[in-house]
Amino acid sequence: MRGGYVFSEVLTGLRRNITMTIAMILTTAISLGLLGGGILVARMTSHAQQLYGDKVQVDVYLTPEVSANDPDCRDVCLTLKDSMQNNPDIASVEYHSQEDAYNEYKERFAGQKEMLDIVRKEALSAFLRVRLKDPAKISIISEQYSGKPGVRSVSDQRELLNRVFSVLNGVRNATLAIALVQAIAALLLISNMVQIAAFTRRTETSIMRLVGASRWRTQLPFVIEAVVAGVIGAVLAVGGLIAAKVWFVDKSLSSVMATGVLPPITANDMLIVAPILIGSGIVLAAVSAYLTLRAYVRT
Amino acid sequence: MIHLSHVSKSYKTSTRPALDDVSVEVDKGEFAFLIGPSGSGKSTFLRLLLREDAPEKGEISVAGSDLTKIRRSKVPGHRRRLGCVFQDFRLLTNKTVSQNVGFALEVLGRPRAVIKRVVPEVLELVGLEGKSNRLPHELSGGEQQRVAIARAFVNRPLLLLADEPTGNLDPDTSADIMLLLERINRTGTTVLMATHDNAIVDSMRRRVIELQLGKLVRDEDRGVYGVGR
Ligand SMILES: Nc1ncnc2c1ncn2[C@@H]1O[C@H](COP(=O)(O)OP(=O)(O)OP(=O)(O)O)[C@@H](O)[C@H]1O
Ligand SMILES: [Mg+2]
């Protein structure tokens, strides 16, 4: 079997059925584009989690009595601090006394006399600033320490973070779900294209078989046709994602990304996604073409 | 070369068997006609030899392959050792004359250089030199049948099967095709040809195997078409 002959059959095959080929390429492109979008959002989420991970801290405020009577963290405060240091989920604990809290307050509102006037040092609480190993577990601090002796309250950044993550996860899941539906459509279209190709060329195929061509030899062009269309679809998908990044994400979201709220999509992300999409395109096309030929095409 | 013993074949949709307990031997190098009225089972006979179908009963062996036991994957290999020609030519319509002929070598895995050398030789043998780049629809019926014969002969088969190869051709063209088949037979290739054409059978005076309603009714060396009727 010689590659050149098979390849020329593939080209005529794709041209002969051009509208179907285009439909298949576009559906594959949309499906893979969405898959790529889903992967990019997933990567963004995990980047974001890392990004926030460094910043996520929970402040455990101590009661006024402890704040006032235990300024050097020797007694009730020390018990709390020790238990936190032994907690496997907690990366670090830092004690901020009433004095420190007041100094921080003064720094933050430097130049705003009214703000400085209304607060006395005694009104502020000392607190333990906790950093977590895994920011996703942020809720365990308030669960475990809220009622403990000496604790007045636990600051809660959970709400905001959870909202950001759930939006990102929702976007990712929706994208992947649409990608899946599109992938099924692409699969059916590939299968249909292969069936039509095999049907329109059934006389040709039966002649080839009479001359002694193997089943492989007569069917390989159909599989390659599907794979070529799949690869073109994947390349379009990658092109579409790059265009979407340059014209949409980078432009309209640049201010959000600059503030560090969302991490940018990098060229590196694209380099990882492109081969995944091309590989998926090849596998999707080859597998559905092969199964179709096994299931529907005799000769 | 061809060996059938007690072969029967029925199609699911018909009541009487297309072949009924047929036993025949054809030796290496023979030229034999397979005759009989329409529906007598000639094409079915050839289809069994090509392993397009399998018989219900009996044993068939062709060119050393036992077709009773042959595995599906070995069928292409079996066909590569035969050549076949049909009334409707069965050329690949989107390939040129030389590509059609070359295809039989391509499936054998012959190198491109060999194909390039051998195909023109065979086209010359069948009288088609200068037409190698035409497509089948640019040829006359007789010329198309020559292409089919060239394709059947290019891999020097042991056995050439022809199912009414002159059925669509005028008498003069038919005579040319018969000359070609005779020449091929003289190279040592066994030829088995199904036909209704009494003029051809009578003029050639070769072995005649006659079927009627699926039964073998006559097997005669140097026979004619209409004897005994
Ligand atoms: N695919 C098929 N399905 C059902 N019956 C068939 C099929 N092919 C042939 N037959 C039947 O088998 C019998 C033999 O057919 P066959 O084609 O072998 O005859 P033939 O001698 O070649 O006739 P002709 O000279 O008209 O070509 C006929 O009765 C025909 O109707
Ligand atoms: Mg017939």
The ipTM value here is: 0.89
Q: Mark whether A180 and A234 lie in a shared domain.
A: yes
- Residue A262: what pLDDT? 67
- For the domain with range B1-81+157-224, which CATH number is right: 3.40.50.720, 3.40.50.300, 3.90.420.10, 1.10.760.10? 3.40.50.300
| Total-model pTM | 0.73
Does ligand 1 come within 6 angstroms of the Cβ of B87?
no
Domain containing residue A91: 57-156
Answer yes or no: is pLDDT of B174 > 80. Answer: yes
User: Considering chain A, what is the average pLDDT of its residues?
Assistant: 83
Q: Mark whether A281 and A137 lie in a shared domain.
A: no
Q: In this structure, which amino acid lies at residue B118? A: V
| Distance from C-alpha of A72 to C-alpha of A90, rounded to nearest angstrom | 22
B123 vs A24, higher pLDDT: B123
Residue A110: both structure tokens together: 């430097």
The CA distances from residue A233 to A11, A191, A241, A276, B158, in Å, are: 16, 15, 12, 13, 48
From the candidates A210, A211, A299, which should be mutated to test the interface with B, based on the most B CB atoms within 10 A? A211
Average of pLDDT values for A160-180?
80
DSSP symbols for B75-137: HHHHHHTEEEEETT----TTS-HHHHHHHHHHTTT--HHHHHHHHHHHHHHTT-TT-TT--GG
Going by pLDDT thresholds of 50, 70 and 90, the confidence category of residue B164 is very high
Q: Mark whether A187 and A43 lie in a shared domain.
A: yes
Answer yes or no: is pLDDT of B224 > 90. Answer: no
A281 vs A166, higher pLDDT: A281
- Residue A1: what pLDDT? 46
| d(CA B211, ligand 2 centre) in Å | 12
- Residue A80: what pLDDT? 87
Residue B79: both structure tokens together: 């066909």
Does ligand 1 come within 6 angstroms of the Cβ of B195?
no
Does ligand 1 come within 6 angstroms of the Cβ of B151?
no
pLDDT in tens, A240-256: 999 988 888 777 777 66
Answer yes or no: is pLDDT of A257 > 70. Answer: no
Q: Mark whether A125 and A175 lie in a shared domain.
A: no
- Residue B7: what pLDDT? 96
Average of pLDDT values for A90-105?
87
Q: Mark whether A73 and A35 lie in a shared domain.
A: no
- Residue B222: what pLDDT? 82
Answer yes or no: is pLDDT of A78 > 50. Answer: yes
Q: In this structure, which amino acid lies at residue B29? A: G
Q: In this structure, which amino acid lies at residue A156? A: D
- Radius of gyration of chain A measured on its C-alpha atoms: 31
Q: Mark whether A213 and A283 lie in a shared domain.
A: yes
With 0-12 / 13-18 / 19 or more C-beta atoms within 10 angstroms meaning exposed / middle / buried, residue B38 is exposed
* Domain ranges (residues) in chain B: 1-81+157-224, 92-156
B90, B106, B112 member nearest A210 (Cβ): B90
pLDDT in tens, A27-64: 889 889 988 888 888 888 777 777 666 666 788 888 88
Residue A213: both structure tokens together: 């061509």
B90, B91, B107 member nearest A217 (Cβ): B107
Contact A61, A152 (CB under 8 A): yes
Residue from B154, B152, B173 nearest B163 by CA: B152
Which is the closest atom of ligand 1 to the Cα of B13? 4
- Whichever domain contains A65, its CATH number is 3.30.70.3040
Range of lowest pLDDT (A161-175, A184-198, A278-292, B158-172) = A161-175
Best probe residue, ligand 1, of B10, B12, B14 (max atoms within 8 Å of C-beta): B14
The CA distances from residue A240 to A18, A234, A236, A243, A253, in Å, are: 22, 10, 6, 5, 18
A57 vs A129, higher pLDDT: A129
pLDDT in tens, B15-47: 899 999 999 999 999 999 999 999 999 999 999
Considering A116-120, A132-136, A191-195, B123-127, the range whose residues carry the highest mean pLDDT is B123-127
Best probe residue, ligand 1, of B16, B20, B44 (max atoms within 8 Å of C-beta): B44
Helix axes B141-153, B171-186, angle to 10 degrees: 10
Q: Under 8 Å CB-to-CB from B160, ≥6 apart: which residues?
A: B82, B83, B84, B85, B152, B153, B181, B184, B185, B189, B190, B191, B192
Q: Under 8 Å CB-to-CB from A93, ≥6 apart: which residues?
A: A81, A84, A85, A128, A129, A130, A131
- Residue A55: what pLDDT? 64
B36 vs A7, higher pLDDT: B36
Q: Mark whether A188 and A267 lie in a shared domain.
A: yes
Report yes or no: A111 at the B interface, CB cutoff 8 Å: no
Average of pLDDT values for B4-12?
94
Which is the closest atom of ligand 1 to the Cα of B37? 25
Q: Under 8 Å CB-to-CB from A295, ≥6 apart: which residues?
A: none
Of A156, A187, A205, the domain-final residue: A156
Q: Mark whether A176 and A140 lie in a shared domain.
A: no
Answer yes or no: is pLDDT of A76 > 80. Answer: yes
DSSP β-bridge partners for residue A187:
none
* CA B10 from centre of chain: 22
pLDDT in tens, A197-222: 888 888 989 999 999 999 888 889 89
| Distance from C-alpha of B67 to C-alpha of B60, rounded to nearest angstrom | 5
Provide the CB-side half-sphere exposure for B218 (13 A, CA). Answer: 20
Contacts of A211 in chain B (CB under 8 A): 79-80, 103-104, 107, 151
Burial pattern B124-153, b for ≥16 Cβ within 10 A else e, equals ebbebeebbebebeebeebbbbbbbbbbbb
Domain count, chain A: 2
Q: Mark whether A151 and A166 lie in a shared domain.
A: no
Q: Mark whether A189 and A273 lie in a shared domain.
A: yes
| d(CA A148, ligand 1 centre) in Å | 95
Average of pLDDT values for B152-174?
94
User: Considering chain B, what is the average pLDDT of its residues?
Assistant: 93
Residues 158 through 217 of chain A touching chain B, CB cutoff 8 Å: 204, 207-215, 217
Q: Mark whether A174 and A289 lie in a shared domain.
A: yes
Residue A299: both structure tokens together: 């000769």
Of A137, A156, A175, the domain-final residue: A156
Which is the closest atom of ligand 1 to the Cα of B214? 14
Contacts of A12 in chain B (CB under 8 A): 94
Answer yes or no: is pLDDT of A82 > 70. Answer: yes
Best probe residue, ligand 1, of B20, B22, B40 (max atoms within 8 Å of C-beta): B40
Answer yes or no: is pLDDT of A270 > 90. Answer: no
Over pLDDT 70: what percentage of chain B?
Answer: 99
| Distance from C-alpha of A73 to C-alpha of A70, rounded to nearest angstrom | 5
Answer yes or no: is pLDDT of B206 > 90. Answer: yes
Residue A217: closest C-alpha in chain B: B107
Average of pLDDT values for B42-56?
94
> Which residues fall inside 5 Å of ion ligand 2, going by CB?
B 43
Answer yes or no: is pLDDT of B229 > 60. Answer: no
Average of pLDDT values for A225-245?
93
Q: Mark whether A185 and A276 lie in a shared domain.
A: yes
